[in-house]
């Protein structure tokens, strides 16, 4: 081989080496552009949309998610949240009988055709709300919990404020068209996430069909208005909505492996498009993401001391799962967490914020979770505090 040929071969090799990194970077750019393109195509027919990891609250995708829009029957997510919280606090029981007022029975739209004076259990009313989107059942439950629908609506708006929902205001408990009644896809995702902390709710929202008045002369067949619970693997909620003004809306949730996601779409043109676009949002989530667990429900998290309380300290356990959202294939070696708790002084109210759980990847904060008091703790009397002080001296 002559000298000129050798020089040509060397120059060719150098050119290949110089071009190789540029080619790899270009491929990486194309992958990133491809992912962005996929996301930009999610829920194209919707007026507003959001896709959220239920555990961490991480937003995967959003489109005009803070726009104030009529939520229609998705309103009932907040109604069901207040019902579940009343059950947790012992203010009502699933077996309690709920009487139907003339006003509740007069509701139009979606209903379970309650008659004035008719009684159903809280359990049955929840089925009527979750499956059939019963406007009458929603008002009956509002009156059961708060005495009047108006007072229940005040509770809804107060809870929305506590959750930090900036673009939500309720005028009723069922979503029938009303002035000054609005929400946003983002706010609906937040309240849906809060509702899902009550694991029992998917027993209702994930059911496809059931009966009310089954043993009576007029049994009523319930079929879930959210068809995804039957036709999409892992879907088990949450709530559909439709009015002429709102068009077709849906807040939906699905779980596969350790990952649960919430998809909200508003202003879709029809049910077929709505269901197809939400299914695509789910597909994208489960294909691209995974959850890394920090605590599972019931896991011990730590203890917090309480000054002058009937209890000197509280054992904290996870009320729900805590996890972080990661791209599939991501390394989890450098993920760590820190529990930061505020010094507490009695009295302490159940669900009051007492600190936060911070999750890091290296030095970067991935997410933060609020930590609430698991129970109420009353202030101890002087005699108990005195005995505790002497016990400390002699221990």
Could you give the residue numbers annotated as active site? 73, 76, 133
- Measured CA to CA, the distance from residue 169 to residue 148 in angstroms comes to 18
Residue 43, by phi and psi: left (phi above 0), alpha (psi -120 to 50) or beta?
Answer: left
Write the DSSP assignment of 345-377 as a string of letters: ES-B-TT-EEEEEEEEETTEEEEEEEEE-SS-B
- Measured CA to CA, the distance from residue 288 to residue 271 in angstroms comes to 26
Write the DSSP assignment of 304-345 as a string of letters: EEEETBSSSEEEEE-SS-EEEEEETT---TTEEEEEEE--EE
- Measured CA to CA, the distance from residue 300 to residue 145 in angstroms comes to 33
DSSP 168: -
Q: What angle do CA 347, 191, 320 make, to 5 degrees?
A: 60
Whether the CB-CB separation of 104 and 301 falls below 8 Å is answered with no
105 phi and psi angles, rounded to 5 deg: -70, -20
Tokens of 345: 């002084």
Write the DSSP assignment of 38-56 as a string of letters: HHHTSSTT-SEEEEEETTT
| Helix, strand or coil, per DSSP, at residue 197 | coil
Tokens of 356: 């936060």
DSSP 174: S
Whether the CB-CB separation of 325 and 52 falls below 8 Å is answered with no
């Amino acid at each position: 081989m002559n000298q000129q040929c050798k020089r040509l071969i060397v120059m060719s090799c150098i050119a290949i080496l110089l071009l190789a990194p540029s080619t790899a970077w270009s491929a990486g750019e194309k992958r990133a552009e491809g992912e962005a393109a996929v996301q930009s195509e999610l829920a194209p027919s919707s007026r507003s949309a959001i896709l959220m990891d239920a555990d961490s609250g991480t937003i995967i995708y959003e489109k005009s998610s803070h726009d104030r829009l009529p939520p229609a029957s998705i309103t009932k997510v907040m109604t069901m949240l207040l019902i579940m919280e009343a059950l947790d606090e012992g203010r009502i029981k699933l077996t309690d009988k709920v009487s139907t007022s003339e006003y509740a029975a007069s509701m139009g739209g979606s209903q379970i055709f309650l008659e004035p004076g008719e009684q159903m259990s809280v359990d049955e009313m929840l089925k009527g709300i979750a499956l059939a989107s019963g406007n009458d059942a929603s008002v009956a439950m509002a009156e059961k919990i708060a005495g009047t629908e108006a007072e229940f609506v005040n509770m809804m708006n107060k809870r929305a404020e506590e959750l930090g929902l900036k673009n939500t205001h309720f005028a009723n408990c069922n979503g029938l068209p009303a002035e000054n009644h609005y929400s946003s896809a983002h706010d609906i995702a937040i309240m849906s996430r809060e509702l899902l902390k009550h694991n029992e709710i998917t027993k209702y929202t994930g059911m496809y069909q059931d009966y009310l008045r089954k043993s009576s002369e007029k049994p009523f067949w319930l079929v879930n208005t959210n068809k995804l619970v039957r036709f999409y693997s892992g879907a088990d909620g949450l709530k559909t909505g439709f009015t002429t003004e709102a068009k077709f809306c849906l807040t939906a949730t699905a779980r596969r492996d350790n990952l649960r996601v919430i998809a909200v779409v508003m202003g879709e043109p029809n049910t077929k498009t709505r269901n197809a676009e939400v299914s695509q949002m789910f597909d994208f989530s489960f294909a691209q993401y995974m959850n890394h667990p920090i605590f599972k429900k019931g896991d011990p998290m730590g203890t917090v001391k309480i000054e002058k309380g009937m209890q000197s300290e509280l054992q904290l356990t996870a009320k729900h799962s805590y996890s972080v959202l990661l791209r599939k294939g991501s390394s989890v070696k450098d993920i760590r967490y820190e529990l930061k708790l505020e010094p507490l002084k009695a009295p302490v109210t159940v669900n009051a914020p007492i600190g936060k759980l911070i999750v890091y990847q290296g030095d970067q904060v991935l997410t933060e979770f609020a930590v609430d008091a698991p129970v109420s703790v009353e202030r101890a009397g002087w005699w108990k505090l005195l005995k505790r002080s002497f016990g400390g001296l002699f221990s």
